[in-house]
Structure 1
Amino acid sequence: MIKYIRSGLTFLFTVITLGAWAQSTATTSSPYSQFGIGSFIDPVLPQNKAMGGIGTATNRIGQYNTINPLNPASYGAINLTTIDIGISSSILLLKQSGSSTQTNNNTRLSHVAFAVPVTKKSALSFGLLPYTELGYNYKQSISNFGTSSSADTNTVNYIYSGDGSLSKAYAGYGFGIGKHILLGGNVSYIFGNMRQYRSTEIPDLYGTLNSRIERSNAVGGLNYDYGVQLNFDVAEASHLIFGYSGSASTQLNSKITSIVSQYTVSSAGNENIAADTISNQVLNNGKIKLPLMNHFGLSYQKDNKFLIGADYSIGNWNTLTIGGVNQGLQKSQSYALGGSFTPNALALHNYFALVDYRLGVRYDKTYINVNSTDIKQYALTFGMGFPLPRNNTAFYKINFTAELAQRGTLQNSLIKENYINLHLSFTLNDLWFRRYQFD
């Protein structure tokens, strides 16, 4: 039976990975994703997201091995083959002063991660994670277009939209030195395609040729993560962990193309096939310079009972450039606090005493500043880890996480986003690649 479970999981892992590599459509509907290279997604799995996103100073959570790409040093604590696969769904409510509320929802693969121990104090990990996501669509209208009494008075609509994403395929190694130190690093390939559109339409003048400019940016290149964790035994089965991790300021290849086309709209309001392509050219074969990011963390854990921790992160997004052009962003700062509690990890007759209960809070000063206003984000997170029946070598857990968050403001004609992110993942710990000995 175990053989069939392993084969099935391996097949599912392969299918989802291939599907994720082909994924390029919009996975968000946020107008704030139009800045820079899209909305950045922290590389933490649902177990850590439920605790406010802490992860710099965590490795195992409860009895389970957990893959933690935020700090590759954590791989050194993995002693069982670990697979983690998950999906995410987002419900987003957009509100602007004087306008009605708009609701959007999206579902996507959130991660596929795999780890296998190499020695007693080291492990390899590899997987696929989302890096940024781009998706927005809004319209600005100008009435009585023209500058003289005889000028055209028809309304002109300017429509702005974008879609696409960047993904992060990584391979990492973490190892322990002595009793107290874990070190590790990731090599990642960041890739994807982002498209942004700007259309000009005159809806009340039937038969008019409308125009659209499409800018497409094909991205690919290497990035590096590194980290360290210092573990100290405070008491029996109690540990204090200090952590640091960073992401290097590397450069990705960027190919920006521009297509200018003309099209008409039918009497029913449907867009017809493009009547003409005025221009199709490569604007820039350049580089995207990524920001240096630093994470600092502290956690305290009592084995099989509870974990509490805090993280602070800073990203130098003010140095982000695309094709040599600075994107006008600012430094970001994030603060996270959270923890996990298991009532009785050894309970025999009370299933809910075996469940992990997780809670956290998060505050982000994002890298976006619009109309001289910092765009801030607040989140309350919670979740549960449900253990499944186990055998002598395998441990299974289903993790559920919910994030209730708000980004932006109604001040200065800006947009406030209220959203709910739901995450579901399956975690497997098992003894694979074990060498059997016979007397």
Structure 2
Amino acid sequence: MIKRISIVVVLLVSFASTAQEGTFSPYSFLGIGNEGFRGTAENRSMAGLSSTSDSIHLNLQNPAAYGDLSYTALTAGMTINSVSLETNEKSESFSHTTFDYFAVGIPFNKFGIGFGIKPVSAVGYDIRENTSDIRNKYEGEGGLNSVYLSAGAEIFKDFKLGFTANYNFGTLNYNNLIARKGVQYASRELIETDLRGFDFEFGAIKDFQVGKKNYLRLAATFRPEMDLDATVDRRLASVQVFSSDQIIVIDENQMPIEDSELTLPQKTSLSLGFGQKRKWYVGADYVMQKANDFSELTYNFSNDVIYDDREIIKLGGFFIPRYNDPANFLKRVSYRAGIRFEKTGLNYNGKDIEEFGINFGLGIPAGRVFTNANIGVEYFKRGTKSNNLVQEDYISVFLSFSFNDKWFIKSKFN
């Protein structure tokens, strides 16, 4: 047991260095970046549906789901992303691989705890503006991560409650370069924003028996408004830029370091589902998040930007022909699918930035006991080419492994 826990701690510490999810999105310039976590591979295959839970899979979106866990679960996920950025004038394509999350869940007889690390937001862009008179370059990278501790329990029959405490941390780096024809030196601005702070989330799940085999599920989560501490370090410099993009600093000044607070807005999700345990499930989520306010980040806050409430509708589910079929492997596979519609809450140049996504996935039995592999594919579109904006088209292939076993077994013999 000590050896197993030690391995988990080593993996968690190692994963922390690479947990930030990368992105290639000009929309990540604003605020603290784009959303970094869309659920585990299992949930994400169902459009991020947050109400499903069982005895072997982890649900990191509703902590009440730990009340269903029967086997210790260790899981990690990664995604291979291919993205196309398109305007009315040109298009570009990129690909990148991200490590999405690392999580551990441990059950204790209708009570479970979990811990791990997952991304909260991601910044990643490289925007260049070259004409006969100007040569501008804007780059950004980094993101916000969360180390979390969760607990969930079945309080009464078919009624579960859960709680998650997140410690958020991360650094956002920006490099802005502006050069003008006829001006001897260009101007460079380096900005490093360090973010730290806690937030908390509460979850509930209630099942109602319908007939002999089916059940109706109501679920909800709530995150109250919380503040993050932000420390901003800015450096302004006059630089000489050569055709090879080599830069020589002529003069540099550090601005006074600014301390401020950013608010993570209130977020609520409501879920409704219907299914048969270990057989099939269909459900819907409605997520509402209050408008962001990033006006404290004056260096990347534009008057062209308006933040509204964010809304997401998710529809998804799974089907398992026969989970314990001893002969037919394909009947033990979980087949998953989902679709989502999202109003991101970002209005730029008078145009709402929206997302649409569709997902498919498989849960494949692998190894002994209930260990399984999960693979899925997602297509989603963000933004529009209208009003001189950018349309982003993503095709993402994501993969996770979930290792399951009994860790805490009471000895029957002395």
> TM-score by structure 1 length?
0.88
2:234 pairs with 1:258:
yes
> TM-score by structure 2 length?
0.93
Distance 2:135 2:20 in 1: 25
Matched with 1:342 is 320
2:39 pairs with 1:44:
yes
2:52 pairs with 1:58:
yes
Residue type at the aligned position of 2:67: G
Residue type at the aligned position of 2:75: D
Distance 1:25 1:309 in 2: 30
CA positional deviation for 1:355: 0.7
Q: What SS does structure 1 have at the residue aligned with 2:70?
A: coil
2:376 counterpart (375, 393, 401): 401
2:353 pairs with 1:372:
no
Matched with 1:104 is 94
Matched with 2:220 is 244
2:219 pairs with 1:230:
no
Q: What SS does structure 2 have at the residue aligned with 1:437?
A: coil
Q: Deviations over 1:60-102 (max 9, x none)?
A: 1xxx522112111111111211111111221110000022x21
Cα 1:124–1:88 change in 2 (3 A) is same
CA contact under 8 A between 1:291 and 1:320: conserved in structure 2? no
Cα 1:184–1:25 change in 2 (3 A) is closer
Distance 1:97 1:323 in 2: 30
Q: What SS does structure 1 have at the residue aligned with 2:255?
A: strand
Q: Deviations over 1:408-429 (max 9, x none)?
A: 1111111111111221100122
CA contact under 8 A between 2:306 and 2:348: conserved in structure 1? no
Cα 1:219–1:372 change in 2 (3 A) is same
Distance 2:291 2:15 in 1: 27
Q: Which has the larger radius of gyration?
A: 1
Matched with 1:136 is 125
CA contact under 8 A between 1:34 and 1:134: conserved in structure 2? yes
CA contact under 8 A between 1:174 and 1:183: conserved in structure 2? yes
1:29 counterpart (15, 24, 27): 24
Distance 2:402 2:338 in 1: 21
| Structure 1 residues 9-408: aligned runs within 5 Å | 11=7, 13-23=8-18, 27-42=22-37, 44-55=39-50, 57-60=51-54, 64-99=55-90, 101-118=91-108, 120-143=109-132, 155-202=133-180, 208-267=184-243, 269-272=244-247, 274-320=248-294, 322=296, 328-390=306-368, 394-408=369-383
How many residue pairs are counted as aligned between the two chains?
410
CA positional deviation for 1:395: 1.5
Q: What SS does structure 2 have at the residue aligned with 1:264?
A: strand
CA positional deviation for 1:8: 8.1
Q: What SS does structure 2 have at the residue aligned with 1:322?
A: coil
CA contact under 8 A between 2:239 and 2:251: conserved in structure 1? no
Q: What SS does structure 2 have at the residue aligned with 1:17?
A: helix
CA contact under 8 A between 2:20 and 2:119: conserved in structure 1? no
CA positional deviation for 1:14: 4.2
CA contact under 8 A between 2:191 and 2:232: conserved in structure 1? yes
Residue type at the aligned position of 2:291: W
Distance 1:169 1:190 in 2: 7
Distance 1:24 1:158 in 2: 30
CA contact under 8 A between 1:36 and 1:329: conserved in structure 2? no
Residue type at the aligned position of 1:313: V
Distance 2:19 2:239 in 1: 25
Distance 1:305 1:279 in 2: 64
Distance 2:24 2:173 in 1: 14
Q: CA RMSD in A?
A: 2.3
Q: Deviations over 1:281-312 (max 9, x none)?
A: 34421111111010010111212211111000
Q: Deviations over 1:74-132 (max 9, x none)?
A: 11111211111111221110000022x211122121110111113x2111111101100
Residue type at the aligned position of 2:84: L
Cα 1:19–1:280 change in 2 (3 A) is farther
Distance 1:121 1:24 in 2: 30
Structure 1 stretches lacking a partner, 5+ long: 144-154
CA contact under 8 A between 1:286 and 1:324: conserved in structure 2? no
Structure 2 stretches lacking a partner, 5+ long: none
Residue type at the aligned position of 1:48: N
Q: Deviations over 1:164-207 (max 9, x none)?
A: 011011001111111021001101100000012221135x77x9
